[in-house]
Structure 1
Amino acid sequence: MATEEIGRHADSTLRIPEPPTELRRGRFSVATVLKFFGPGAIIASLTIGSGESILASREGAVFGYTVLWAVVVGTVAKGALVYASNRHITLTGEHPMMRLAKVLPGPRGWFPVLLALICLASFPGWASGVAVALGDFLESQGAGNATAYAVGVLLFAGVLSWVGGYTLLERVQVAIAGLMVVLVLVAVFVAQPEWLGVLRGLVPGSFEYAPFVAEKYPEITGTSVWVELVVFMGGLGGGMYDYIGYTGMLREKKWGMLGHEEIDAIGRRLAVMKARETVPLSTAPDDVTKARAWSRAPLFDMMAAFLALAVIAAAFMINGAAILGEKHLVPEGNDVLTYQSQFLASVAGIFESFYIVAIVTVLFGTVYAVWEAYSWTTYESLAAVSEKVRLRGQRGVRPFVYAWTGIGALLMIATGASFLALITPASIVGGVFACGIYGAGLLYVDKVNLPAEYRMSALVRMLVALGSAFLTVCGVVAMLAYVEVI
């Protein structure tokens, strides 16, 4: 289909390219799933250093096994909305934010602008928080001043990201992080947790701080249990500050319509569509079959990423309960990373030293990765409402995002605030609440703008709807508790 044909004929339909043979098959192997595990791996690596190693361990220590259900519910809720978002761009070639800028009631573009503001406000908090956590850990090992390390890590990671000089170290990070995760999983069985308690914890119910917390860590009990738990869920698997960019990264994979030879012309055509106009996708049976096959690519990517995150988070939480909780130790203040070395030490003493190398590598990789992820998120959000931004591309917004994140993070580090204090607002608003309202927007776009043959299945719709409602309500409750309204 020529560019001119796409652009001039309003009645011409868009036909998705031929999918790979692997996606057409009725049965799929683990190898097939892993073949399409790409952008999801970036999100997984972004959160292991904070959402899992720090926050999951902390929740296990302060709540025991009673909140393991939050791992399951949180990963299903976030995984469903990520799949819905990535499925949309794969089938249409257009980021959902472009549709959300037009189709929702109210002033044009208000929703992408709202999400952009939430994400921009969240960037410095997470960047500074992870850098501070790493700085505190290095100081605890007798390596020097925590603040100096936090600043150094932040700036060095930013410069490396800007020039793109991390390829070799990235491969080393993957290997080291992988070994650390394996050891943490082994530690679960070495620790011999109360397995009945683990199973009971998978069922949602009431939860409260362990008795020792009030006596040994009274400042923790001053925080609402809902704020404590929702901060963890915000860190679990990332937030909107990651997911908007995550969806945009699929452009590089060229899945589905993104691999169409006239994708630029298709993008221009969709950009001038009316708000409630249906995306002109071909409803011919063969094209619909191709689309269903292509929808498996983002599904496999999401499943691999979020299944891995769920298992890792559960392992850290169980170890937090079985090892740290039993010793009345909580990752808190300047020691959010110190006690987790005991997980690896329970497997063999030599691995306690390995933990130092592993956690430094993993957290540095997290600080390194956020810069580009945040640049993509900002670009996709603002491109939905600004043709000027679209023309400049992601490279055009990079300087602004790097400056905003870097200066903001340095100022937050200078306050001397702890890791938890730095990330809490961003985690609640950007990691939970924003995810909920984005999921609701995806449901609306799916119903209004896609042909019936291309809409989500009933199961996916249900999961996105329930997950969005859960995340929105949790976010609102935590925000009200955080400002002490309730």
Structure 2
Amino acid sequence: MPNSPLAPAPLQGPLAEPWSPGKLVRLLGMFGPAAVLASVSIGAGETIVVVRTGAWMGYGLLWLVLLAALTKGVCVTYFLGRYTAVSGESPGQRLVKLPGPRGWLLFLLIALELGAAGPLWGALARPSGELMSYLFFGSGDHGVTNRVLATIFISIALLLSLPTSYRSLERQQVIICGILVTGTCIGTLLVRPDWFAALKGLFSIGHIPSVPKSAPPLFRDSVWPLIAVTMGYVGGSVMTYLVYPDFIALHGWGMTGHKDRKELLERAAAGKPGDYLPTDPQQVREIRRAAGPIRYDVAFGAFVLLVVSAAFMIAGAAVLFPKQQAGEDIAQFKDWGLLTDQAEIWNAIHPSLVWVYYLCVVAALWGTLQSYPDVYARGVTEYFRAIWPARQWNQRNIQLVICGYVFIATNVVIWSPMDFDVMTQTVNFLATSLGVCIAMFAGLYLNFQLPPAYRTRWWMLGCGIASALILTGVSSIAGWGLWQTLAK
């Protein structure tokens, strides 16, 4: 019968094996799509924004890292990815059917991400240019040279991203995540932090310490913009979450690996998931179990995000915060020497920290810049196909256009007088707070598009609703902070 339910997709890989210690190891090997998300996320957020928050506020705001890992790294990623694994349909194909002009929400999400691309890449490129200038030419004001090096840096990243396939990108990002976790843990141990204070700060959710006089006036007047920027930058921008379901489909997890997926997608386009998903309890359990890799992948990705972000903030709190409190004259986080100043201070603490610092920073920045063009292109291609299904869309051609746009937009920012805080606040409001908040609400909506038997457990739904409310508050604060900054 053409309208009969589709049979569950068979279990694949380790999920089909009986329980054994070897199965656990092979389950760990399923970590992949979330590695790309984690690596993309760990750029300016961890190497700069999180470190300076620790330098200014000590361990007191570590709970923001935990909150971001739970709300964004777990809930947003899980709800979007799980819908695709259970239904076999991408979120864009369902969201395009929302009431109103066709694809209005998809256009909004693309606009938020690409609108923030110039400041996002500029906030990565300018400090990187300063760091390379410092490494090649030593300390001093090199003026135009710093901007030229920043332009060269992004040019190389964009060019090298073009021939990269998803499979090679995923393998690269898994290695980078391993380097980041290992390197940051070593670096954190070497600075000998106050672990009791760190644990207290990590779990003191909602506690806001007083802002020290050493912090910039922007945050000394009100700590709320600093809170919004810090939490927003932990976890990356909205497009990284929107393409996660596409990565899942490449792995064939859940119903995306169904042998009749073409029929599945046709029936989904003509109706809704309830039209083809079986109602038999045993088959429901099989489909839910086939979507199991999502849980492991999301958990590993959130773990990497939490460990690396917390390690960078702890390093700032352990090394830089005491110097600020003691009133030492250290030139840090001023102008664009945001990465360079950290290296000088770490070198003064212990020379062996320098290689750890450079390795982690280079890996973090390179992982971010290598991944973003593919992330942009996948997201735009997927949504354009959903909006205009009759047309042919070539992802490689779209990536070429996006790379050209990113190059122009970033250079406009690099050669403009825009300062770092304006860049980060702009990116934070558009892409890492408001955009991600909308994505969380979209994930909740998608969950209710599934038949009741396939929806998340009640406690996970509660976590998703709480995350949506938290992200709404952060987005409001981010918008208010940006408005206050631009109005000055």
Structures share a fold, TM > 0.5? yes
- Rounded Cα–Cα distance in structure 2 between residues aligned with 1:388 and 1:169: 30
The 8 Å contact of residues 85 and 442 in structure 1, kept in 2 or not, is answered as: yes
Q: 1:289 to 1:27 in 2, by over 3 A?
A: farther
Alignment partner, residue 343 of structure 2: 341
Match of 2:484 in 1: 484
DSSP-derived class of the 1:19 partner = coil
Task: Tell me: CA distance 1:32–1:395, structure 2 relative to 1, closer, same or farther (3 Å).
Answer: same
1:171-182 correspondence runs (5 A): 178-179=178-179, 181-182=181-182
- 1:267 is aligned to 265
Deviation at 1:356, TM superposition (A): 3.2
Distance 1:120 1:15, change over 3 A: farther
Please state whether the residue corresponding to 1:392 is helix, strand or coil. coil
Q: Distance in 2 between matches of 1:287 and 1:165?
A: 35
Tell me the secondary structure at the aligned position of residue 456 of structure 2: coil
What runs of 5+ residues in structure 2 fail to find an aligned partner?
A: 325-329
C-alpha separation in 2, matches of 1:450 and 1:149: 50
Equivalence for 1:410: 411
Match of 2:233 among 216, 232, 235: 235
Task: Kindly provide the amino acid, as one letter, of the partner of residue 242 in structure 1.
Answer: T
Task: Map 1:283-294 onto structure 2 (within 5 A).
Answer: 283-294=279-290
1:38 maps onto 2:32 in alignment: yes
Residue 323 of structure 1: CA displacement? 0.7
Contact kept, 8 Å, 1:235 with 1:431, in 2: the verdict is yes
CA contact (8 A) 2:46 2:309 kept: yes
TM normalised by structure 2 equals 0.87
Counterpart pick for 1:281 among 268, 277, 285: 277
Query: 1:295 is matched with which residue?
Result: 291
Q: How does 1:302-321 map to 2 (within 5 A)?
A: 302-321=298-317
Moved >4 Å (runs of 4+): 24-30, 165-177, 342-348
Query: Which residue number in structure 2 is paired with residue 442 of structure 1?
Result: 443
Q: Secondary structure at the match of 1:384?
A: helix
The question of whether the paired residues in 1 share the 8 Å contact of 2:38 and 2:302 is answered with yes
- How many angstroms does 1:357 deviate by? 4.9
Q: Counterparts of 1:168 and 1:295 in 2: how far apart (Å)?
A: 24
Structure 1 segment 38-77 matched on structure 2, within 5 A: 38-77=32-71
- Letter of the 1:285 partner, please give it: P
Structure 2 partner of 1:81? 76
Give 1:77 shift.
0.5
Query: Structure 1's 313 and 419: CA in aligned 2 closer, same or farther, altered over 3 A?
Result: same
Q: What corresponds to 1:394 in structure 2?
A: 395
**C-alpha distance in 2, partners of 1:98/1:173?**
28
Deviation at 1:353, TM superposition (A): 4.1
Taking structure 1 as the reference length, what is the TM-score of the superposition?
Answer: 0.87
Deviation at 1:483, TM superposition (A): 0.5
Structure 2 counterparts to residues 34-433 of structure 1, below 5 A: 34-78=28-72, 79-102=74-97, 104-143=98-137, 145-164=145-164, 178-179=178-179, 181-201=181-201, 202-208=203-209, 210-214=211-215, 217-218=216-217, 220-221=219-220, 224-273=222-271, 278-328=274-324, 330-341=332-343, 345=347, 349-353=351-355, 355-388=357-390, 391-433=392-434
Mark the runs of 5 or more structure 1 residues left unpaired by the alignment. none
* CA shift in 2, pair 1:251/1:205, >3 Å: closer
Matched, 1:13 2:5: yes
Q: Matched residues in 2 for 1:170 and 1:150: separation?
A: 26
TM-aligned CA distance change 1:236 to 1:388, over 3 Å: farther
Q: Per-residue displacement from partner, 1:256-296 (whole Å, max 9, x unpaired)?
A: 1111222233223212226xx73420122332122121222
Give yes or no for contact 1:61–1:325 (8 Å, CA) kept in 2.
Answer: yes
Whole-angstrom CA distance in 1 between matches of 2:206 and 2:165: 47
Q: In structure 1, how many angstroms separate the alpha carbons of the residues matched to 2:171 and 2:445?
A: 40
1:176 Cα deviation after fit: 6.9
Compute the RMSD of aligned alpha carbons: 3.0
Q: Identity rate of aligned residues, in percent? A: 27
Report if aligned partners of 1:65, 1:197 keep a CA contact under 8 Å in 2. yes
Deviation readout 1:398-427 (Å, 9 max, x if unpaired): 233222222211211121434443232122
Task: Give the whole-Å Cα distance in 2 for the aligned partners of 1:451 and 1:170.
Answer: 32
Judge conservation of contact 1:112–1:381 (CA < 8 Å) in 2.
yes
C-alpha offsets along residues 372-414 of structure 1, whole Å, 9 cap, x if unaligned?
111112222333322145x324334223322222221121112
Measured after TM superposition, the shift of residue 301 of structure 1 is 0.7
